[in-house]
């Protein structure tokens, strides 16, 4: 199924009697989801772009490539830098803005500017009964009624199929610099990243790459970035030698690899994405028995390469949540993809799904496991 | 303003309710005396008043849970209350309700500089959250002008913003977790010190739900290190259009000021008489603040000056020291108070795309003439969050109604310009009957579906957000079905 308008999408869903597998670019690896594929690629095109108001409205099936090209022409960007997981997940296709929104896909800048959901100004969607609704709008501040925009971003299509999203976009920065410290263990790395993020010097990325090096990103106007790099080098002096990288292409590649978890491309284990309080990460690493761990978000985001079928959650001794991002069909059958929720929350979530998807046809079984 | 007919059964069972509440709360936490309940009869939208049946002031999440369980059992409506500074009537009682005030729950539970979070009880005031982390030079970013008084509970319920939100975002962007009590007394934990949700984003829907989905008792908030310094400039223009265009150019240039505030001639005049801040008398005054080290500030201000000069400002005043900086902010900060001195006013909160600023300001001027009511504009220009202040005389018959009618016209205008009814104050009772301007029935149904799930009996903060007839029908139907 490939509707080319919101009305057609609504018709399709309202007459559907069997499960639908909702697909944007299909760049994810969902494991087996039963159901006829519903493609959103026909809901496409940028309908409004006001660079002076930092606003863009686009059909959910619009590709990130098209959005990126339009933004580039005005020297703007998506500040939440959605990851491109094709390499690491071994998928092909072109990510869509609807898929990004539905998965609240946020990159390394999450810690400074916010997640995808923080840049979503409005949505239009078709719920599981085929009813069209909108929420939010295209202005920067909006508290008119409940914020269903947040509910829809990160619902992975289980509450409705997005037909249109409106986004806050941001100006590109003049330049970036990276600081790099080698030879730290996870505990020292998180301490160094915390010191950097707890400084006034506006760090926009803080990660411990797979080679063990801590990398920090500074962005903005040239003089300001250089000033902050100097200051930060002093703050971090106690952690080791601070190396500065100012080759722009090199910095881009470095952060692309972190954002897209490229270091795990071709690795054979199950790949998990884990969100924890940064200072809990080192202790967790000690208990997981992982092949390798990449830390982003100052330690708050862990990409973990685990032995196949090892249930990471069973070894999770700290609060947070883990999503199984890559496994084989059997792995996805055995382990829930999304972190099972505590009973009271699972009940609310289940009721929300039953209400927004009364026929139970939108990506059934994808979410909703109970702890 | 129409309010629901008080439930006669609830009114008749007041003494039974008090007796049951006293089994779970100490004597001084249950307020039933009519003189004392009057303290809760309104919030900062003082045009509407109604004393509640009772007020309770619990001290812990467990006490809140006990209170809600009893109210749920007896079908008593509950209106949560922080500090009562809502400008939308969000905390206005109904005659048959229990006001559940969280003002006594104001402890700091945990400060964690390593992970940059603070956990507080929800009755703590916004400014005292920043106060609690000032020793380490940290702060909590969202800064409503009411921050000395308003509580985190109210901030979460309204998803409040403030002047510095242009850079740091509003409450929802700085909220990481809550402890919340559902109407039936169940305690739930949502989010925490980690980022984002592993399932549906329930935290996102609770923030901004105006006290209708649950009572928030604790919150985990993101804290940040203070910038090295900050400095404002004042720029005067002889037309609103030009000031609007300047705002748009600054934003597009990639400078990220922490604040861009706008005041029109009417407000500037009133403020000058009141606070003598030394503002130029012109059509539009912008106050723009940037942050960083001295050198960074200089560089950003140089860029802003360059952009502003393309628009021929009549004045560009840079603060040379702390005293001048505070004088630049003085006028803006006293704007509401100054306007209040000359008359009663109603403060609107519609938000528009920045590009529509000149058109909307012009239309507001025309409406002011049509209705014969004076209007001043002072607002957060960087994100298009308007605050037209309509002046009226509460003692003059019909003036309030005229003011409401004109307010409705302005809000309709904001929606037509591609904006919304409210950018940070919330819907409350004030805008509930205007929701149809912005949303179709199906859009509102989707929101009410969420309410049905969190609060099936529609007991929490009744008669707010959604048009009265709709919410009334929901409540009676649910209770009758029991
Ligand atoms: C289980 C899982 C968890 C993920 N978690 C994260 C994460 O936490 N952070 C992150 O950065 N990236 C995450 N991703 C990756 C993210 O989905 C991709 O980076 C990319 O954004 C997907 O774009 P796409 O167009 O290819 O979408 P697809 O891969 O086609 O779809 C992604 C998800 O969104 C749904 N979807 C697609 N289009 C729509 C629409 N129009 N309306 C409603 N639902 C739609 C799909 O059903 C699917 O659940 C996750 C992917 C999966 C499969
Ligand atoms: C002079 C002045 C200036 C202002 N400036 C700004 C501004 O710059 N930006 C801005 O956004 N707002 C501003 N406001 C509006 C107001 O201060 C905010 O809406 C504030 O967040 C309300 O907080 P409060 O604690 O006073 O809440 P209250 O007025 O007590 O309640 C507000 C809402 O929150 C709900 N609520 C209260 N406690 C709870 C709880 N524990 N659980 C669930 N729901 C609860 C109430 O039911 C009600 O719906 C201003 C108000 C005034 C009077």
Residue A66 belongs to domain with CATH number = 3.30.465.10
What distance in Å separates the CA atoms of residue B242 and residue B248, rounded to the nearest whole number? 10
Do A133 and A53 belong together in one domain? Answer: yes
Mutate to test the pocket of ligand 1, among A32, A84, A102, A367 (most ligand atoms within 8 A of CB): A102
* Residue of A101, A139, A346 to mutate when probing chain B, most B C-beta within 10 A: A139
Q: Do B194 and A321 touch (CB under 8 A)?
A: yes
Determine the distance separating the centroid of ligand 1 and the alpha carbon of B271, expressed in angstroms: 51
Mutate to test the pocket of ligand 2, among B126, B153, B340, B349 (most ligand atoms within 8 A of CB): B153
Residue B192 forms contact with A (CB below 8 Å): yes
pLDDT of residue A277: 98
pLDDT of residue A52: 86
Helix residue spans in B322-378 (DSSP H): 322-333, 335-342, 357-371
What distance in Å separates the CA atoms of residue B170 and residue B173, rounded to the nearest whole number? 6
B241 pLDDT tier (thresholds 50, 70, 90): confident
Q: What's the average model confidence in pLDDT over B285-299?
A: 93
Task: Tell me how crowded residue B365 is: count the other CB atoms within 10 A of its CB.
Answer: 15
Residue A1 lies in a domain: no
What distance in Å separates the CA atoms of residue A92 and residue A86, rounded to the nearest whole number? 6
Do A114 and A78 belong together in one domain? Answer: yes
Q: Which residue of A has its CA nearest to B446?
A: A133
Q: Give contacts of A 250-269 with B, CB under 8 A.
A: none
Q: What's the average model confidence in pLDDT over A216-222?
A: 95
| Chain B residues touching A352 at Cβ < 8 A | 200, 449-450, 453
Q: Is the pLDDT of residue A31 over 70?
A: no
Domain encompassing residue A191: 175-259
- Please state which architecture CATH assigns to domain B108-225: 2-Layer Sandwich (3.30)
| Chain A residues touching B466 at Cβ < 8 A | 145
Do A53 and A116 belong together in one domain? Answer: yes
Helices (H) and strands (E) in chain B, counts: 19, 18
Considering only CA atoms, which residue is closest to atom 7 of ligand 2?
Answer: B144
Q: What's the average model confidence in pLDDT over B190-195?
A: 97
pLDDT of residue B473: 85
Residue A37 lies in a domain: yes
Q: What's the average model confidence in pLDDT over A348-364?
A: 96
Q: What's the average model confidence in pLDDT over A174-188?
A: 97
| Chain A residues touching B435 at Cβ < 8 A | 144-145
Residue A196 lies in a domain: yes
Please say whether the beta carbons of A218 and A180 come within 8 A.
no
Residue A361 lies in a domain: no
Helix, strand or coil, per DSSP, at residue A244: strand
Number of domains chain A contains: 3
B295 pLDDT tier (thresholds 50, 70, 90): confident
Q: Where are the domains of chain B?
A: 108-225, 230-336, 344-376+385-428
Residue A86 lies in a domain: yes
B472 pLDDT tier (thresholds 50, 70, 90): confident
Q: Do A141 and B169 touch (CB under 8 A)?
A: no
| pLDDT tens digits for range B59-116 | 999 999 999 999 999 999 999 999 999 999 999 999 999 999 999 999 999 999 999 9
What distance in Å separates the CA atoms of residue B148 and residue B151, rounded to the nearest whole number? 9
- CATH for A189: 3.30.70.1710
Q: Give contacts of B 259-318 with A, CB under 8 A.
A: 292-293, 295-296, 299-300
Residue A43 lies in a domain: yes
Q: What's the average model confidence in pLDDT over B241-252?
A: 89
| Chain A residues touching B248 at Cβ < 8 A | 52-53
Smallest CA-to-CA distance from B50 within B103, B100, B101, B2 is with B2
Q: Smallest Cβ distance to A319: which of B172, B194, B354?
A: B194
Return the H-helix or E-strand segment holding A356.
helix A343-356
A26 pLDDT tier (thresholds 50, 70, 90): confident
The whole-model pTM stands at 0.96
- Please state which architecture CATH assigns to domain B230-336: 2-Layer Sandwich (3.30)
* Residue of B189, B196, B447 to mutate when probing chain A, most A C-beta within 10 A: B196
Smallest CA-to-CA distance from A326 within A88, A35, A25, A87 is with A88
Smallest CA-to-CA distance from A152 within A84, A103, A97, A83 is with A103
Domain stop point among A242, A259, A276: A259
- CATH for A299: 3.30.70
Q: What percent of chain B has pLDDT over 70?
A: 100
Place of tokens 């009755």: B123
Do the interacting molecules here have an ipTM over 0.95?
Answer: yes
Q: What's the average model confidence in pLDDT over A153-166?
A: 97
Determine the distance separating the centroid of ligand 2 and the alpha carbon of B480, expressed in angstroms: 32
- The alpha carbon dihedral of B67, B69, B71, B77 has a sign of positive
Q: Could you tell me the two tokens for A33?
A: 């989801």
Smallest CA-to-CA distance from B277 within B230, B229, B222, B236 is with B236
Q: Is the pLDDT of residue A65 over 80?
A: yes
What distance in Å separates the CA atoms of residue B419 and residue B385, rounded to the nearest whole number? 9
pLDDT of residue A30: 60
Residue A359 lies in a domain: no
- What does CATH list as the number for B344-376+385-428? 3.30.70
What mean pLDDT is reported for chain B? 95
Common-topology check for domains B108-225 and B344-376+385-428: no
Q: Smallest Cβ distance to A278: which of B115, B172, B197?
A: B115
Do A47 and A61 belong together in one domain? Answer: yes
Residue A24 lies in a domain: yes
Return the H-helix or E-strand segment holding A332.
helix A329-334
pLDDT of residue B471: 85
Domain stop point among A209, A230, A259: A259
Q: Is the pLDDT of residue A29 over 60?
A: no
Residues with CB under 6 A from ligand 1: A 22-28, 30, 40, 60, 82-83, 85, 93, 95-96, 98-100, 102-103, 105-106, 156-157, 161-162, 273, 323, 325, 337, 363
Domain stop point among A259, A276, A305: A259
Q: Is the pLDDT of residue A330 over 60?
A: yes
The pairs formed by B316-321 with CB atoms below 8 angstroms and a separation of 24 or more are B316/B233, B316/B234, B316/B235, B316/B236, B317/B233, B317/B234, B317/B235, B317/B236, B318/B231, B318/B233, B319/B231, B319/B232, B319/B233
Do A213 and A306 belong together in one domain? Answer: no
Higher pLDDT, B481 or B13: B13
pLDDT of residue B73: 97
């Amino acid at each position: 199924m490939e509707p080319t308008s919101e009305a057609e999408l609504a018709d399709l869903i309202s007459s559907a009697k069997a499960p639908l597998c909702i697909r944007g670019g299909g760049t994810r690896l969902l494991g087996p989801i039963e159901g006829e594929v519903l493609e959103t690629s026909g809901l496409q095109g940028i309908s409004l772009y006001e660079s002076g108001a930092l606003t863009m409205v686009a059909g959910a099936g619009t590709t990130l490539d098209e959005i990126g090209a339009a933004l580039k022409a005005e020297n703007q960007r998506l500040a939440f830098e959605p990851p491109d997981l094709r390499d690491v997940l071994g998928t092909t296709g072109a990510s869509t803005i609807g898929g990004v929104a539905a998965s609240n896909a946020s990159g390394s800048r999450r810690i400074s500017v916010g997640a995808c959901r923080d840049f979503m100004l409005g949505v239009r969607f078709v719920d599981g009964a085929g009813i069209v609704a909108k929420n939010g709008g295209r202005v920067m501040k909006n508290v008119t009624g409940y914020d269903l925009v947040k509910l829809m971003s990160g619902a992975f299509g289980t509450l409705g199929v997005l037909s249109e999203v409106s986004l806050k976009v941001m100006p590109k920065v003049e330049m970036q610099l990276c600081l790099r410290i080698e030879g730290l263990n996870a505990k020292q790395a998180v301490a160094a990243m915390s010191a950097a993020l707890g400084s006034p010097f506006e760090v926009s990325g803080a990660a411990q790459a797979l080679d063990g090096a801590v990398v920090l990103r500074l962005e903005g106007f040239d003089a300001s970035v250089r000033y902050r790099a100097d200051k930060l080098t002093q703050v971090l002096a106690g952690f080791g030698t601070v190396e500065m990288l100012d080759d722009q292409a090199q910095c881009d590649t470095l952060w692309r690899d972190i954002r897209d978890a490229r270091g795990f491309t071709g690795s054979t284990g199950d790949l998990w994405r884990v969100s924890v309080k940064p200072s809990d990460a080192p202790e967790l690493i000690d208990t997981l028995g992982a092949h390798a761990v990449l830390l982003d978000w100052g330690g708050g985001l862990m990409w973990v390469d685990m032995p196949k079928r090892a249930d990471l959650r069973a070894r999770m001794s700290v609060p947070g949540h883990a999503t199984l991002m890559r496994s084989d069909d059997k792995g996805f059958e055995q382990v829930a993809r999304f972190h099972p929720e505590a009973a009271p929350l699972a009940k609310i979530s289940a009721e929300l799904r039953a209400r927004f998807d009364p026929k139970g046809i939108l990506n059934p079984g994808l979410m909703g496991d109970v702890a | 303003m129409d309010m629901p007919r008080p439930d006669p059964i609830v009114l008749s069972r007041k003494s039974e309710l008090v007796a049951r509440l006293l089994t779970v709360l100490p004597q001084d936490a249950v307020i039933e005396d009519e003189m004392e309940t009057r303290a809760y009869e309104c919030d900062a939208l003082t045009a509407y008043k109604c004393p509640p049946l009772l007020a309770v002031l619990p001290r812990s999440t467990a006490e809140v849970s006990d209170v809600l369980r009893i109210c749920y059992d007896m079908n008593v409506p509950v209106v949560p209350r922080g500090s009562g500074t809502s400008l939308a009537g969000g905390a206005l009682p109904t005659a048959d309700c229990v006001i559940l005030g969280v003002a006594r729950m104001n402890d700091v539970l945990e400060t964690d500089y390593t992970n940059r979070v603070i956990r507080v009880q929800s009755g703590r005031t916004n400014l005292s959250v920043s106060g609690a982390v000032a020793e380490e030079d940290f702060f909590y970013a969202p800064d409503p002008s009411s921050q000395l008084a308003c509580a985190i509970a109210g901030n979460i319920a309204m998803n409040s913003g403030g002047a510095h939100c242009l850079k740091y975002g509003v409450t929802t962007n700085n909220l990481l977790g809550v402890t919340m009590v559902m109407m039936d007394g169940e305690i739930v934990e949502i989010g925490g010190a980690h980022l984002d949700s592993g399932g549906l984003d329930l935290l996102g829907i609770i923030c901004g739900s105006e006290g209708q989905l649950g009572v928030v008792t604790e919150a985990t908030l993101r804290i940040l290190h203070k910038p090295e310094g900050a400095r404002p400039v004042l720029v005067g223009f002889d037309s609103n259009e030009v000031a609007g265009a300047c705002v748009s150019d600054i934003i597009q240039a990639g400078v990220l000021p922490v604040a861009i505030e706008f005041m029109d001639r009417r407000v500037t005049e009133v403020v000058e008489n009141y606070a003598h801040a030394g503002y130029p008398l012109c059509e539009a005054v912008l106050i723009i603040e940037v942050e960083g080290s001295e050198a960074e500030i200089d560089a950003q201000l140089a860029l802003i000056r360059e952009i502003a000069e393309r628009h021929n400002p009549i004045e560009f005043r840079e603060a040379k020291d702390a005293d001048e900086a505070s004088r630049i902010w003085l006028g803006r900060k006293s704007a509401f108070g100054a306007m209040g001195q000359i008359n009663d006013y109603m403060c609107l909160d519609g938000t528009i795309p920045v590009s529509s600023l000149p058109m909307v300001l012009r239309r507001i001027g025309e409406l002011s003439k049509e209705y014969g009511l004076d209007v001043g504009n002072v607002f957060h220009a960087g994100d298009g969050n308007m605050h037209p202040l309509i002046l009226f005389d509460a003692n003059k018959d019909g003036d309030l109604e005229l003011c409401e009618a004109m307010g409705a016209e302005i809000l309709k205008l904001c929606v037509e310009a591609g904006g919304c009814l409210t950018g940070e104050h919330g819907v409350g009772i004030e805008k509930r009957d205007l929701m149809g301007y912005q949303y179709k029935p199906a859009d509102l149904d989707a929101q009410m579906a969420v309410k049905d799930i969190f609060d099936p009996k529609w007991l929490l903060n009744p008669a707010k957000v959604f048009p009265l007839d709709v919410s009334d029908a929901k409540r009676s139907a649910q209770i009758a079905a029991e």
